[in-house]
Structure 1
Amino acid sequence: MFAFFAAMAETERENIPEATLEGLNAAARKGNQGGRPPVITDDMLHTVLRRRRNGESLKDIRPDLVIPTGKRRGRHPSLASIYRALTQHEKSQAAPDAVDQAHADFATLQPSD
């Protein structure tokens, strides 16, 4: 009896990743994206970019940025979050067509419902 329940548990454990991926794919088809919302908004990013062009350091800019929503609303974003947003912005600026092409390729690979 114990061996039977152990085998059932193992089978269930093997199915968890598949079920998770199926759920993520179903959510993506509906337009939902998982994960946390970004802390750095577009307005904040534009402010950082403008002030960096004027020669200010991120340590000087950070105290003027305030997170508008979410669990950390009213606090200042971390320097890591700012650097992450800048890196993502630079990547999108380096190959702007690549992002659109990747989205189009992904849409064509998805089965229609």
Structure 2
Amino acid sequence: MYDYPFSFMKDTLYQTDGHLQLDEPLPYRQNSQESGFYRPGQISLRNGKSLDLVLYHNEATEKFIYLRKTPIDPNLMHIIGLDPQVYRGRSEITLPGQLCLGSDRGA
């Protein structure tokens, strides 16, 4: 089991304390061509409230969560605030998966 304690300030008057617990990853198969893992777990707050959750991990979530190599695209660079001239001469850049926009999201 994975147990991660957390504490953060929602605003200057309210602090949230608790922990995230995740069970060991379990395999699943959605269809004959797609499979992955899931982890049941729970977020528990110090005030006694809790929320059961299940985290899934498959090829689609992997592309979104982790770093990925992508071709240099001046339009994307402009959107995310990078100067394409700095990367002139390079064919690709490594970016967080969350910056996957447009048709790349469906690939």
Q: What TM bracket, shorter-length normalisation?
A: under 0.3
User: Structure 1 length as normaliser, TM-score?
Assistant: 0.21
TM-score by length of 2: 0.22
Larger radius of gyration: 1
Higher helix proportion (structure 1 or 2): 1
